[in-house]
Structure 1
Amino acid sequence: MDQRGRVTVSKLSKVDKAGILLLSLGETDAAQVLRHLGPKEVQKVGVAMAHLGNVHREQVEEVLSEFIVMVGEQTGLGVGTDGYIRKMLTQALGEDKAGSLIDRILLGGSTSGLDSLKWMEPRAVADVIRYEHPQIQAIVVAYLDADQASEVLSHFPHKARLDILLRVSSLNTVQPAALKELNTILEKQFSGNTNTSRATLGGVKRAADIMNYLDSTIEGPLMDAIRELDEELALEIEDLMFVFENLADIDDRGIQALLREISSDVLTLALKGADENVKEKIFKNMSKRAGELLRDDLESLGPVRVSDVETAQKEILGIARRMAEAGEIVIGPKGAEEMI
């Protein structure tokens, strides 16, 4: 805080600084910038913009000065996705406030029927594809992000979930004609243009990613059912899944970065039922004082519900996946390898 009680720019997160910069640009220019950001980045910045309070002139000037210094070191920007931009801005700013900005961002953009599903709630997506052929359902589930796909699957009965996931694991590429036909079906309900390029969808890795996001009450029986039908496939999926025990495979720098993003309450609860290797990895990468406090918290926690521990572990795994997607950490077996 400065003498007037304002948060100093040095204490602001990078996302907050990006939000201040975009707010200072105005709607038109901010929209042009957002079009070139990746979907996860757009969502984070939009939420930051929505939650920023009264930004003072001095703060804006400091952010702009810092940006000018940094911009010379940057070489490029990613490419965004219309569906994510629309969903993020509507959630962050509200339908009315986001309307004009969305129009500017999406001006001239095209949307396929499949992309339209990414704007919808998982239950609504499940309702749209519920009576389609299982292979169509599998293509849609494989096309969605893993976390949304897992929520969509949760709205199907166990037998249907099993069928869809098995089909997802056996998918490789989808022919242009099949994608065109699927988009035609979906575009009866949603507007947009047809993408007729060959798409790589599904596969065992995709099935494992979706399983990672499923609630444990769904994941366990589903994996058991897959194992009964195809033990080799079940082993492949399990090998590719990133579970809480795999945190021990992340390098020390990655663990330290991850710990900075996790609240102490969630970490304590998650470690209550954790493997000793994971606990050792966590304590190894904490200061002596922080480790002592965590051990005290664990000892004083008392009995807890298994479901609460699993929820805390899922939250940490979600943070780890997001950081991995952003290139901030490396998860899985490669995380234990020496980086050069």
Structure 2
Amino acid sequence: MAETPSTELANQQQQLVVEADANQRELAGDEKAAVLLLALGPDYGKPIFKELDDIEIRQLSRAMSQLGPITQDMLDTLFVQFITSLTTNGDLAGNVDSTERLLLSFLPQERVDMIMEEIRGPAGRNIWEKLSNVQEDVLASFLKNEYPQTISVVLTKISTEHASKVLANLPDDLALDVIQRMLAIEPVQKEIVEKIENTLRTEFMSTLSHTRRRDSHEQMADIFNAFDRQTEARFLTALEERNLESAERIKALMFTFEDLGNLDGTAIQTVLQQVEKPLLTLALKGANDETKEKFLANMSARAAKMMRDDMDAMGPVRLKDVDEAQSGMVNLAKDLAAKGEIVIAKGGNEEEMIG
């Protein structure tokens, strides 16, 4: 039975070999991708592979199998190039034709036709679903400059819950006018609805996708958070030499294990209730004294004594294991913040970090 691309990739997976005396050379495009994914390892590389098609996986597999040793300088240069490209602002412009040409370069004609049909097709296709995912204050800020009748049509097309939040963000007089028009609204002509949909698509959604694009420094800060300590320090030092401003912005946005010590007692206790004891013990074993004492102070006297005894009994531990445990606690805190159970702020500002 023939191997699938994913099986082929699994069979060819290797650890990135970094040697000081390897041949220094310029990497080709597919080699750069191969080095980057090997350096990320299976845990962080797997989600990327899931986004690739069969041809791309085969190409990367071939590049990985033929890569050979990489010098530390080559690896450092590649990561700095990657970081710089993500943190350097640039202007791009596109249109329907250029988009179609790009898609045809790596997708079958049938898939491209389906995608382009949605783009070129009926103006309202999926627009109302997209509007329902737009933050209510942002949508209200745009709609408040439209005619009340137009606003009433839009609010009847989106979900009731979202419409109520948008209404609450409109000026009172305008909101009351819109409510009255919604109460008396009659079936709207198809041409009017299509005109409103076109306006929303061209004047609002396109602008929104540009202006609300995630900050590249924030994205890179998340990537740096996932590095082990040595890798983080190495790339930050290299980046500081090339682009000090970007390096400083990334450091300010990073949320580290030490930042957990800036949470207030209630938030720390919430984290303590959720974290597994072995993970906590290992993470605190390698923590600085201030962070360690902050966590111990939020335990009962008996639990704190047991934790100290457990840390003493562990003896020496590998820095790699400590890094993984502390990263696990940082991820747990982020998950709790996403659920609204605690509030965290990046940058280690104690006054901004509350539970």
Give the TM-score taking structure 1 as reference length.
0.50
Q: Which structure has the larger Rg over C-alpha atoms?
A: 2
